[in-house]
A and B are shown apart, each in its own frame.
Chain A
């Protein structure tokens, strides 16, 4: 299985770009722009940490995502 260190979910391009710039040298990561693709990504890559924006567009907010993934990654960070 392709594991990754982190999954970052944010609907803001700028924030995703910044996270990539910060993470790129030391970690493996995946980025997603919606709660739905984020959940699929977490399912697939089983990250150690998920960083999720609270306000997400597209019908599912960060809390909804966080509630659905407790056993799939070690830790979740929600940011506001």
Chain B
């Protein structure tokens, strides 16, 4: 009898030791709380991380002494009281020492009869991952800007030729009425160059993460259509932009990110239609959401590729990075929207970008 008890004791000790070891080297910080919301146990990662933020973890103290962020405390209370899980939350937390991104879950701790005994907080510092994500988004924006710059040289050369021609004519024409007309035109062409460059700089300049503001989608399209013109001409694609319905609602967004997303979708469509085709842009307003629809009559996307198309690094282009659409989808998500793709081989592809209304 004694031997069995000793063996069991040794077994539990080993198990306890191994579990402790496992938790110690887990990348996530884990803290458990009892039914009163007091700290019971935590792993090394949790301790190290909170210590680095100037917070000391003391078993037996209430959870609000260890948390840096009010919503986490509320979640712990809510879990203990109602048993509701809080999963995959992401928060930006600013302390006196630093600013960081935390991904966290709070789940109930239950006994074998499903009675709530407390709560478990699992968290992970995702600051570095978020920085990388932002860097990739910026890289993609720069890639689009570079790509556009090569194409729109033609769009600038036309008004430049006209302005140059107008000046030459001014030198030889004596009729004051025609001279006036030429000067007027010259000014118009210079405005045109200025407008194209302004639209371009809007997408080319570095994007600082800003607040989302009220945006008119049709205006965004208007501001990028000249930038894409040389691409449509090159592939013989006609771009048809539907007039937006009257009082088309505003959305909440970031204009640079929206331009980046729309240019990416349009460029994909144009590149897919190597032998010419039609790219239609339409607006749609349904109940609580608005969408902008890009419809092409290109070759379409094979069915087996559709589930992979929004994944990072998935590409079928020889020189593609496979980041364009995944970054676009991410940017749309950040604005509370969704990017959806339907396609049929031989018929074409429809990309819908859906946004909630601005409130």
- Residues of A at the B interface (CB closer than 8 Å) are 11-12, 14-15, 17-18, 21-22, 55-61
Contacts and interface: CB of A to CB of B under 8 A. Distances in A.
Interface of B: 154, 158-159, 161-162, 165-166, 169, 178, 182, 185, 188-189, 192, 229-230, 232-234, 236, 238, 276
Contacts of A22: 165, 169
Contact of A57 (B158, B166, B185, B233): B233
28 contacts: A12-B158, A14-B158, A14-B159, A14-B161, A14-B185, A14-B189, A14-B192, A15-B158, A15-B161, A15-B162, A17-B162, A17-B185, A18-B161, A18-B162, A18-B165, A18-B169, A21-B178, A21-B182, A22-B169, A55-B154, A55-B234, A57-B229, A57-B233, A57-B238, A58-B236, A58-B238, A59-B238, A59-B276
B236 A59 contact: yes
Nearest to A35: B236
Contacts of A11: 233
A15 B232 CA distance: 19
**Interface residues of B: mostly helix, strand, loop or mixed?**
helix
A57 B302 CA distance: 29
B230 to A, nearest CB: 7
Contacts of B185: 14, 17
B145 to A, nearest CB: 21
Contacts of B233: 11, 55-57, 61
A52 B232 CA distance: 18
Contacts of A21: 165-166, 169, 178, 182
A57 B276 CA distance: 10
Given A12-B158, A15-B162, 4 more contacts: A17-B162, A21-B166, A21-B178, A58-B238
Contacts of A15: 158, 161-162
Contact of B236 (A12, A17, A61): A61
B19 to A, nearest CB: 68
A78 to B, nearest CB: 14
